[in-house]
Structure 1
């Protein structure tokens, strides 16, 4: 290794560990369900994005296996050569139906969607109004586009209107886009899409909603845009297939012309091999489940409300979450990591989240209850939270 690289890594890794900002990875021994095994120990799992429990669904596993038998383990090429299998076409038709749009395009991950879609439409002559708490993939997608990035105060519609007016009336930009998460993953709050749409209409802004944590959760599972009845108003609906859907991949849904453009100008679509057939089949099956029944979504919200009420009653600061995402805000980074470690020692896996994922001084343990949890599992978790919270002085 080059000496300068060795020095850089040694100094910076020590700094992260000393500040309580180094993330230890815990391999899961088996499926990522409502309980998991880590280090040979069974734990109640409150850190998974597997909102509906579909990652371990037996029916979806069979669909994936059958697709592998029929198509193979890989698509064999990029989509624009001969990597578009008929099952990919069915997936995109199903996603468009799910999101209430004319068309959809599938990518290999939700992160790829933001790399692909933003830079395919926006360039150095444009401006992007971006909520300051948007996901890292949005931030990176904006940077890749080379557009002027204008940070908007979180969920502040007055600030959005002010900056939209300045950007559109300056004459500096060909196009202006507003980008927001549908559900913000660290705090669980929901974007104010109705007011944002009105501002967008006033200033002719392109609207872009990344609904990674809203699809399968909000709007009877159809997402945050559906929750507000704005399917015809939002230009880009972005989603992941790795959270509530339980598999892997991502998609953009919108007008047919938009999807046609992304198929010829978005680089991850043009230069990366297509989603595997087994994943595609499982996703189609998962979406079919959501289109057929609200049962899993209802159970998710029931469990989310139950855990929230229990933690709040114990005296934890759970912020202002409007979704099943339930942060316990601890504050100091080292304490947040210590809190998470003690939870794990007592039988609950709830990972600490610290800077740079959240602002300094707002370290937290983020809880993600799912439809697969039982009340007994949640009661067990609450008992551990009470014990550890009192032990570390987080609650009285």
Structure 2
């Protein structure tokens, strides 16, 4: 089998009403998805998504004519492109989808099949008042979820803590609560200072009183030393790593003991191939692997297959904050939206590859651009 061509297509859906993400002061009026299609001479096509494929054009010749099963070779080439130009990891996702289809196996079984299910935690994304967040949390309980994540980003962190207090009061011990401090990275226009170690310690100690399961990104993503200090100074789990792009970052974090929970996203930081290695590294060091999944339904599925295959963590992130962020908004290119069952669990199917089908009508409706590399079909 040989790769004959690669397509990269962009799709955009208007969001009405807009999504006001906690980490972005500009309301999001559109949601874009980039899909990469890897075609072969045997008529099998793998599909990946989750990032923009920036930097891929001009490097397509490094893959055309190659055996798609040479995944370690392709991963190294993508890592080289990542270093010089940009993130093209959805191609790795597409190759795993292709390999699964070619072998008739779901990707999670090819990766190890430690389990076929995992609990989802409802990962919220909007800043709302304490009473609104508490009402939404109670609905999560009714919908079968066992955990949720609250994002911080009020001007005064005490207002953020008040939200957690109200949620804990509303749901008691029916939900594990995670908190994302949103201090790990910035949007391009954000010049405000992030927390320092002392502020992170103060917040962590307040959240300890509320039995918070983990505190995510309380310090900048490369402040490995102070994250390790924070872990030593508090009893709460410290999570992070969603935007650390390269394997040496995770080696250094594990060496320094920076985190309890590591969150590399296969769509952003190494594809399935390299993130599996990161997960093996951090779990062998006694830590948890629970990836970030805020891209789209295909990116979520790729992280899900890896997590059920190898992760020791009881939870995987499920971006969900109705009515502003729901599967129909995120997964508009798919025939079936990705969501857990009534018990808040993802149960894996035996469909080959990543197990999704594209909605051809939606693809025609939302396509805004494309590029084609290689032999014409």
For the criterion TM > 0.5, the same-fold answer is no
TM-score, normalisation: structure 2: 0.34
Task: From the two aligned structures, give the one with the greater strand fraction.
Answer: 2
Q: Which has the larger radius of gyration?
A: 1
Looking at secondary structure, tell me which structure has more helix per residue.
1
